[in-house]
Structure 1
Amino acid sequence: MPDDPAPVPEPGSAADVRRTWDARADHYLGLFRDELDGKPFDREALRAFAGRVGPGGRVYDAGCGPCGHVTALLAAHGLDVLGIDLSPRCVALARQEKPDCRFVVMDQRDVAGAGERLDGLVSSYSLHDQPKRQLATTLAAWAAALRPGGQLLIVAKEGVADGVADDPLGSDLRVYWAEFTAYELRSAAGRAGFCVDDCAVREAYDDEIPTRRVHLAATRGAA
């Protein structure tokens, strides 16, 4: 008898994120390898984050993807940065793209168990793969990994989507896709123990998915 087909992971689960990103990592790399070159707002947000953390600060780039470009930019600003991603294929490609940077396979919700007390964490479009109901748990995990006074930067697409959809990035996959309002991110960050320092919304650039972007900067409160 033929082997039973592998079970399909629950949408938005860690196994599902790993499966979908392993499948589309090469496609994404081709689209976004140099995306920061045309995004001055994003580059400035990352520069400002690095300035708040300070030289040599230990930082995770959560959901670094296959490009490694955010990790590399943070490193260029003097941070001790590690790119983490659930997808082994994303990590393998990031290591090829940015051989001078460090990347490991890790769930962004397990950062507190990595044994480091971080000075900062960046989530650049890493929240849209998981259901909104997991936002509180994820932010609590980030807060537990950061020292008091540690810095957080979240970049997310604005909206109300929360479910399985055709991949907005143009692959042939059905993927989990979540969007967030500024209010949702501010509220969740506050409940997780962060003080929100700034929450800016920018319009999409001409070559982006036509959805506004939310940039939230916050500081970890006292334990």
Structure 2
Amino acid sequence: MPETTSTTPPAPVPGSAADVVRTWDARADHYLRLFRDELESKPFDLEALDAFAGRVVPGGRVYDAGCGPCGHVTQFLTDRGLDVLGIDLSPRCVALARRERPDCRFAVQDHRTLTEPLDGLVAYYSLHDQPRAGLPATLAAWATALRPGGQLLVVAKEGTHDGVIDDPLGSDLRVYWAEFTEYELRRAAGNASFRVDTCTVREAYENEIPTRRIYLAATRAA
């Protein structure tokens, strides 16, 4: 009998789409336990999301890009009369979001390869899984999907880190973690044909990772 050997598939490239699936499928349940109701204790975030919803055309089509397992941003925007789809690369995140928010819509999809024309897009802490070098291409993809006048809201953690670290959320995983500066976000948005309307930075709340947050609101130029 010939001797057989088993091989372990190589680990995905850190920060790649496959790596996002690997890490988020593994920690989606943990994240849901931590952040299921996080918006209730974040008045600044609620105001930013409400302002975004008010800028989108009534009933407009919106993607919650990187919705995660909670689906709370999708729910918030849906409750304000928008036609919202929460998308995430992680099948586990999407399955949990569907369970948590049965009256909302969710799908497994890469927010960097959008095809449907949109009136708005929210990226609520969904950029930190990919290398900072990919930011211009991501913003360009969103600009392609958004109609002229379409609204963008990006929420990201401020900083300069760009690489693999121990999971700040407390799982046992090593994960890709990227932070951004206000200048980087403004520049990438401007280069991608967005008009930056506001860009605000706030300090972390007491129960958050101690990193400042950036909130960039922009409009897709004609």
Bin for the TM-score computed over the shorter chain: over 0.9
Alignment counterpart, residue 22 of structure 1, candidates 25, 48, 54: 25
SS in 1 for 2:113: helix
2:212 is aligned to: 212
For residues 130-183 of structure 1, the C-alpha deviation after alignment (integer angstroms, 9 at most, x for no partner) is 000000010000000000000000000000010001111110000000000111
> 2:20 is matched by which residue type in structure 1?
V
CA contact (8 A) 1:74 1:81 kept: yes
SS in 1 for 2:112: helix
SS in 2 for 1:44: helix
1:35 deviates by 0.1
CA distance in 2, matches of 1:118, 1:131: 25
Name the count of aligned residue pairs.
219
> 1:7 is matched by which residue type in structure 2?
P
CA distance in 2, matches of 1:30, 1:144: 35
CA contact (8 A) 1:55 1:77 kept: no
CA distance in 2, matches of 1:102, 1:157: 27
Question: Where does structure 1 lack aligned partners over 5 or more consecutive residues?
Answer: none
For residues 23-44 of structure 1, the C-alpha deviation after alignment (integer angstroms, 9 at most, x for no partner) is 0000000000000000000001
SS in 2 for 1:20: helix
> 1:130 is matched by which residue type in structure 2?
Q
Give the alignment of 1:11-90 within 5 angstroms.
Answer: 11-90=14-93
1:54 deviates by 3.0
2:149 is aligned to: 149
SS in 1 for 2:198: strand
Identity of aligned residues (%): 76
Superposition misfits of 4+ residues, deviation over 6 angstroms? none
> 1:170 is matched by which residue type in structure 2?
G
1:95 is aligned to: 98
Which entry has the higher C-alpha Rg, 1 or 2? 2
